């Protein structure tokens, strides 16, 4: 794949490789399909394989010989600095709730994909509008037409408008039951009963929200932090328009048998939010 830059032009390989990677990253961020995730992951790998060697070759061919080492050093420094920053910031973003938006289905473990999608999209636009300018064309060869530039920029603008419309629509809809169950379990596992109560009914027939939250918080904390369990929330099963269940499966290391709990989620109003109203084995 590295030869594509030699065959079609370095700028072409950089631009379309980044474009493919950004589209794939949006698929990873938005959709929850295992098959789409596998396809998007493969597409990201292909896009990176095409773009990265072409980018290095483009930097070399666009630089004067006497400054080539200086420029390559600056590029390598920027890449290394970004990698170190990502290593430091990534775990905090992954575990923090500060950037979570349950209404949009964005929770802490999906935030890095959203950030990457925005950054790759910005990089794609820069590649099509700035990297593929006349100076690069005069040095390294140009195969990106004006029509292609306009098409990508227009597509990005249209995508942004659609994204804004989608955000507005999602904020008019309740948080899906499985997301409610996931956030509730997550907050209890972290010992944050007060935050978990935002996603739970205070009381219901056979349900005392505060008492149950404290009881299950102790158990979830023991499983997740004491026994190093990971947990997965399965898609919800609806029981009418105002009640649903979401199976939460806890997987333990060292061959210990898994544990499953069924979180019951209810709606008190037809257009109201889903709230946890029960839990059973």
Flag whether the pTM goes above 0.85: no
Q: 166 and 181 share a domain?
A: no
Final residue belonging to a domain, choices 170, 199, 231: 170
Judge if 129 and 186 occupy the same domain: no
My answer on whether 25 and 98 are in the same domain is yes
137 in the same domain as 24: yes
Per the structure, how many domains does the chain have?
Answer: 2
Domain termination site, one of 134, 154, 170: 170
SS (H, E, C) 156-222: HHHHHHHHHHHHHHHCCCCCCHHHHHHHHHHHHHCCCHHHHHHHECCEECCEEHHHHHHHHHHHHHH
Residues 75 and 196 in one domain: no
153 and 33 inside one domain: yes
Same domain, 148 and 15: yes
**Could you tell me the CA-to-CA distances from 101 to 97, 136, 175 in Å, in that order?**
8, 41, 10
* Local confidence pLDDT in tens for the 281 residues of the chain: 556 666 777 888 888 999 999 999 999 988 878 899 999 999 999 999 888 888 888 888 777 888 888 888 898 899 899 889 988 888 888 777 677 787 787 877 788 899 999 999 999 999 888 877 754 555 444 567 888 888 999 999 999 999 999 989 888 888 889 889 988 998 999 999 999 999 999 998 889 999 999 999 999 999 999 998 888 888 899 998 889 999 999 999 877 899 999 999 999 888 888 999 999 88
pLDDT of res. 2: 58
Q: In CATH, what number is assigned to the domain containing residue 226?
A: 3.10.450.50
**pLDDT tens for each residue of 120-166:** 999 999 988 887 775 455 544 456 788 888 899 999 999 999 999 99
**Model pLDDT, residue 142:** 55
Mark whether 182 and 139 lie in a shared domain: no
Contact 178, 246 (CB under 8 A): yes
- Final residue of a structural domain among 128, 149, 170: 170
Domain extent, residue 224, equals: 177-280
The verdict on 142 and 248 lying in the same domain is: no
Clarify whether residues 89 and 188 are in a common domain: no
Say what the pLDDT of residue 93 is: 80
Same-domain check for residues 47 and 150: yes
């Amino acid at each position: 794949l590295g030869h594509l830059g030699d065959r079609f032009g370095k700028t072409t390989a950089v631009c379309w490789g980044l474009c493919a990677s950004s589209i794939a990253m949006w698929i990873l961020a938005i959709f929850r399909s295992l098959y789409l995730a596998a396809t998007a992951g493969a597409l990201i790998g292909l896009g990176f394989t095409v773009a990265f060697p072409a980018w290095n070759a483009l930097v070399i061919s666009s630089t004067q010989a006497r400054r080539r080492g200086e420029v390559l050093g600056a590029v390598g420094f920027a890449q290394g600095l970004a990698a170190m920053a990502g290593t430091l910031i990534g775990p905090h973003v992954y575990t923090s709730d500060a950037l979570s938006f349950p209404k949009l289905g964005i929770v802490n473990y999906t935030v890095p994909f959203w950030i990457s999608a925005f950054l790759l999209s910005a990089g794609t636009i820069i590649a099509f509008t700035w990297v593929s300018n006349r100076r690069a064309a005069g040095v390294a060869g140009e195969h990106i037409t004006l029509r292609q530039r306009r098409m990508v920029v227009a597509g990005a603008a249209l995508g942004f408008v659609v994204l804004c419309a989608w955000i507005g629509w999602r904020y008019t809809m309740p948080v899906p039951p499985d997301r409610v169950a996931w956030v509730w379990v997550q907050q209890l596992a972290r010992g944050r009963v007060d935050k978990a109560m935002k996603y739970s009914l205070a009381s219901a027939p056979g349900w005392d929200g505060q008492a149950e939250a404290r009881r299950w918080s102790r158990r979830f904390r023991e499983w997740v932090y004491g026994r190093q369990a990971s947990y997965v929330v399965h898609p919800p099963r609806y029981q009418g328009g105002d009640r649903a269940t979401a199976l939460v499966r806890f997987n333990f290391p060292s061959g210990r048998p898994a544990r499953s709990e069924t979180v019951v989620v209810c709606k008190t109003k037809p257009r109201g939010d889903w709230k946890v109203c029960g839990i059973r084995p």
